[in-house]
Amino acid sequence: MIRQPSDVPRGRALAEAAARVIPGGVNSATRYIGEPYAFASASGAYLTDLDGNDYLDYHAAFGAILLGHNVESVNRAIRDAVGGLDLSGLGVTELEVALAERICSIIPSAESMIATVSGSEATAQAIRLARAATGRRKIIKFQGGFHGWHDPVARNVISTPELAYGLDPLSAGILPEALEATLIAEFNDLGSVKALLGEHDGEVAGIILEPIPHNVGALLPTDEFVQGLRELCTATGTVLIFDEVITGFRHALGGYQQLCGVTPDLTTFGKGMANGYPVGGLAGRRDLMEHFNGRGGDVLLAGTFNGNPLGCVAALATLDHLAEHPDFYTRTRDFGDQLRAGLTRVVGDLGLPAHAAGFGGVFNLYFTPERPTGYRELLDNDHQAYVDFHRAMINRGVLMLPLSLKRNHVSGAHTQADIDQTLEAAESALTELAKSR
């Protein structure tokens, strides 16, 4: 049944109250989507809004919910920790050491680790470290990649055709020289990277990439591309940074690098590692990470909440759950395959120019004439159709963020019945969309 706006708009009232005291009414720009305006509770694969409507959740807090909402093993670990050490701000705790040891044991590139509170902080530290270790100023990122809100990378994500590959900042207030020190390459195009390294010979400190650019859906890398990046970085003394804030722990316990067999110099992570609790980190080669050493290193590591006990507890409990339930990866991959196959069948039957994409439990539907392999094909994406499809799914009780190129996530709590319900809703939504075109 297609949902209608609530008769008792408590969510709208809260959104209006929020707008009076919070700029725009939300604490992160992409959280404002209209209805549903506000949520009251969550359980398993479902969210309940302030007006009592349940939504099958594929947004998953931008991917931070990995196992499902309110998983008991994580909640129990948090409950057990409350009442012990809250925050000392001095020395180190057993939990910080346990988390670092765990990360170093499961992520191939990790010989040493620092904890942060968010993925943005982790990527900021990685870029600063690459510059300090090499004595170089420039970095390379890829058109469509998002690595947080900080100045060096706050450019060229979902760019319009006239701004793609040029100067496309995400925000006012950034110094031009910070933006200009970041060079833009094309994903899956090793030639574009070689050209930049040649043009700026000896100036590039690091190359940062999402190994799967999930911030523009799911562009899948070729083996030749990721292997070629490793070889180029080794040959030129450039630091290779895998931003696994989204791919880390979601596709494999050791991250996407475990699956592709390419070991970067540094890896950032966050999002699902603590199933919704705020924690992130950076790990990598010991010789690089020692620049953070407060007793002789030259890169500042600071943050009152770095390594906070609750974040560490939640991360350890989440990683324990994944290690104890290896079927998480086979189940989410199988469900992702079913969703991609089902969407492909529906758009084919309807004659819609669209392509189901994704990896593992991440899926999305591009509205493009050709299947995208890089950002150039995404310049032809029908952004309005993308948003309309997601909005139609919300109206049918399936929460997909109604912003173009945003991905969807299968969590450990989704069931076969949920997948069947989703495909039934998608067929109805896409049929409606096809009729309106």
pLDDT at 2 (0 to 100) = 54
How confident is the prediction for the chain on average, in pLDDT? Answer: 96
Q: Considering only the top CATH level, what class is 72-324?
A: alpha beta
Give 283-341 pLDDT, tens digit per residue.
Answer: 999 999 999 999 999 999 999 999 999 999 999 999 999 999 999 999 999 999 999 99
Integer Cα distance of 314 and 302 in angstroms = 21
Distance (Å) of CA 341 to CA 169, 299, 334: 36, 48, 10
Say if residue 62's pLDDT is above 60: yes
In a 13 Å sphere around the CA of 78, the CA atoms on its Cβ side amount to: 17
pLDDT single digits (tens) 36-57: 999 999 999 999 999 999 999 9
* Domain ranges across the chain: 72-324
**Positions of E strands within 260-354:** 266-269, 280-284
Considering the entire predicted model, what is its pTM?
0.95
Q: Is 236 helix (H, G, I), strand (E, B) or coil?
A: helix
pLDDT-based confidence at 5, cuts 50/70/90?
low
Give per-residue pLDDT as tens, 376-434. Answer: 999 999 999 999 999 999 999 999 999 999 999 999 999 999 999 999 999 999 999 99
- Crossing angle of helices 327-350 and 416-436, in 10° steps, is 20
Encode pLDDT of 210-236 as tens digits.
999 999 999 999 999 999 999 999 999
Model confidence band, residue 8 (pLDDT cutoffs 50, 70, 90)? low
Residue type, 16: E
Answer yes or no: is pLDDT of 6 > 90: no
The answer, yes or no, to whether residue 7 has pLDDT greater than 90, is no
pLDDT at residue number 4? 52
